[in-house]
């Protein structure tokens, strides 16, 4: 029974863990609601060209990511 609870806890933590936009792969970024492969590639390209994101708000500088999408993503992403 303890094993089941530990596995369930690990699953829940993974399900609600924020995606780090400074280290995430295209595949990981594509799991975010509203982010498909093209936008994920744009995020990685921006990061490679400009360095790590200093804040979540900087994500709005990526082509295809507007303020509305940024607001929708804020609870799902981190820079830490």
Domains along the chain? 18-78 (1.10.150.280)
| Spatial distance between the Cα atoms of 54 and 11, rounded to a whole number of angstroms | 29
Reported as a single tens digit per residue, the pLDDT across 24-49 is 999 999 999 999 999 999 999 999 99
pLDDT at 4 over 50: yes
Reported as a single tens digit per residue, the pLDDT across 53-69 is 999 999 999 999 999 99
pLDDT at 50 over 50: yes
Q: Give the confidence band of 5 by pLDDT, cuts at 50, 70, 90.
A: low
């Amino acid at each position: 029974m303890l094993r089941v609870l530990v596995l369930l806890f690990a699953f829940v933590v993974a399900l609600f863990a924020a995606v780090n936009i400074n280290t995430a792969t295209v595949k990981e970024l594509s799991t975010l609601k509203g982010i498909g492969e093209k936008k994920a590639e744009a995020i990685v390209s921006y990061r490679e060209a400009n360095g790590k994101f200093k804040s979540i708000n900087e994500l709005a500088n990526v082509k295809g990511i507007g303020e509305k999408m940024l607001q929708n993503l804020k609870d799902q992403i981190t820079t830490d």
